[in-house]
């Protein structure tokens, strides 16, 4: 039905010729944009509703009873459902550490939560299908578990700013929510996210459509194919300044994959975009000493590189 | 009636400023005597037991946390506290 609507707009309203490149590109653009926005609205609403049951306070309570390993796995999984915005990184970090969540477990959460976020999942699902979206969740959670375990094993507690340990967190009695409030929360969240990301989505789908229609087939195989040794680190490096902008990146990645970028490289790129964010590091500097920030970035980068090379090697 | 203390907790993100704006607006529309203050000191934020910013604190009790600024919810939170004084 969506396809018919896109046909109608492209070929009748705009009277473009279906057999031309422009006609095809415009039809593709209209179809993809409508599909993605519908999916974003519906899925973000559902996820927000679900999330209203998993505030970080509850996650904290669950994790403070866990030890290494099991704790890392739980933290990475809870990171998927707990809402997180990088502006909350500091209170979340302090709250976790203060209530006795081990440092490595806290990091598993801090990595998984922004990496496996609902916008990235919708875009991956809508544009690549559920297999790749699932693969992204699985690898993202694994990276969070492993990186958190390594940080835990390194015993870096002294690399946290001292004042964090002296803080006494208040007992936040959470206002209990009724369904009406959950609905309002979810609706407000959908509006907020869509308002924030729609220009990126539109521009990215347009660029993706352009690459799809005009770039020569296979032109990236040589540079970003699975046999290119430098493609993965380059993708990670390029991803760092594009922080937390999955909405603007995934449609372009899709087009680049069509033209020969390998899956491992694409996964590494997307993880770098979502997980390695400069502003978040600056925010975390308020609670972490520079050495721990450096280690955090280093361990996370290496884990992402491993994912990239691994998938390039086996697929 | 004593002045109502409204605090917006947040460490300087866009959402926090938005919540401050909404709170100011609600105060104006309700025509109440209230003091709206933006708090970005981590220690105080943590002291309230808040983990998700922005959060809205009215007369020392946490009303909203982590939610996107929704005018209806902010109004309810303030009215709620008004009813107590």
Measure A169 CA to nearest chain B CA, in Å: 5
Contact A92 B51 (CB under 8 A): yes
Contact A87 B70 (CB under 8 A): no
* pLDDT (0 to 100) of residue A144: 95
Q: Which residues of chain A have pLDDT under 50?
A: none
Say how many Å lie between the first and final Cα of chain B, rounded. Answer: 7
pLDDT digits (tens, 9 = 90+) for B24-38: 998 899 888 888 888
* pLDDT (0 to 100) of residue A104: 94
Contact B66 A88 (CB under 8 A): yes
Q: Which residue has the higher pLDDT, B50 or A141?
A: A141
**Measured between CB atoms, which of B47, B65, B68 is closest to A189?**
B68
Decide if pLDDT at B67 tops 70.
Answer: no
pLDDT digits (tens, 9 = 90+) for A288-313: 999 999 999 999 999 999 999 999 88
Tokens of A141: 């959670």
Q: Angle B14-30/B71-84 helices, nearest 10 degrees?
A: 50
State the greatest distance between any 2 C-alpha atoms of chain A, in Å, as a whole number: 69
* pLDDT (0 to 100) of residue B47: 84
The CATH architecture to which B4-84 belongs is: 3-Layer(aba) Sandwich (3.40)
Residues in A closer than 8 angstroms to B15, CB to CB, are 85, 87, 192
**Measured between CB atoms, which of B46, B52, B63 is closest to A56?**
B52
3-state secondary structure of B39: strand
List the domain boundaries for chain B: 4-84
- Per-residue pLDDT, averaged over B59-66, amounts to 83
* pLDDT (0 to 100) of residue A172: 60
Tokens of A114: 């922004």
Residues in A closer than 8 angstroms to B52, CB to CB, are 55-56, 83, 85, 88, 91-92
- Per-residue pLDDT, averaged over B36-44, amounts to 86
Q: Between the CA of residue A300 and those of A107, A145, A289, what are the distances in Å?
A: 10, 11, 17
Is cis: bond before A26, omega within 30 of 0? Answer: no
Measure B55 CA to nearest chain A CA, in Å: 10
Q: Which residue of A has its CA nearest to B15?
A: A87
């Amino acid at each position: 039905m969506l396809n018919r609507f896109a046909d109608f707009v492209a070929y009748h309203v705009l009277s473009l010729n279906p057999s031309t490149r422009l006609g095809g590109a415009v039809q593709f653009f209209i179809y993809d944009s409508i599909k993605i926005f519908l999916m974003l609205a519906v899925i973000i609403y559902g996820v927000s509703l679900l999330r209203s049951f998993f505030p970080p306070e509850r996650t904290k309570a669950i994790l403070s009873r866990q030890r290494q390993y099991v704790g890392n796995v739980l933290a990475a999984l809870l990171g998927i459902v707990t809402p997180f915005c990088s502006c909350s990184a500091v209170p979340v970090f302090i709250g976790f550490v203060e209530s006795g969540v081990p440092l490595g477990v806290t990091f598993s959460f801090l990595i998984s939560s922004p990496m496996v976020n609902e916008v990235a999942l919708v875009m991956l699902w809508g544009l690549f299908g559920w297999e790749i979206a699932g693969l992204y969740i699985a690898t993202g959670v694994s990276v969070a578990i492993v990186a958190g375990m390594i940080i835990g094993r390194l015993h870096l507690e002294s690399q946290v700013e001292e004042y964090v340990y002296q803080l006494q967190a208040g007992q936040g009695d959470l206002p209990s929510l009724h369904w009406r409030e959950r609905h309002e929360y979810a609706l407000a969240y959908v509006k907020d996210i869509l308002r924030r990301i729609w220009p990126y989505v539109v521009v990215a789908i347009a660029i993706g459509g352009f690459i799809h229609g005009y770039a020569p087939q296979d032109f990236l195989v040589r540079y970003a194919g699975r046999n290119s040794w430098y493609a993965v680190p380059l993708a990670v490096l390029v991803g760092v300044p594009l922080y937390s902008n999955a909405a603007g990146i995934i449609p372009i990645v899709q087009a680049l994959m069509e033209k020969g970028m390998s899956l491992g490289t694409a996964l590494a790129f997307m993880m770098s975009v979502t997980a390695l964010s400069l502003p978040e590091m600056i925010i975390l500097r308020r609670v972490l000493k520079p050495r721990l920030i450096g280690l955090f970035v280093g361990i996370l980068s290496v884990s992402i590189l491993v994912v990239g090379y691994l998938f390039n090697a086996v697929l | 009636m004593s002045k109502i203390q409204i605090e917006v907790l947040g460490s300087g993100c866009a959402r926090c400023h938005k919540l401050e704006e909404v709170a100011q607006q609600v105060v104006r529309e309700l025509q109440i005597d209230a003091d709206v203050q933006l708090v970005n000191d981590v220690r105080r934020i943590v002291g309230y037991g808040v983990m998700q910013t922005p959060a809205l604190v009215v007369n020392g009790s946490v009303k909203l946390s982590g939610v996107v600024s929704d005018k209806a919810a902010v109004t309810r939170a303030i009215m709620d506290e008004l009813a107590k004084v």
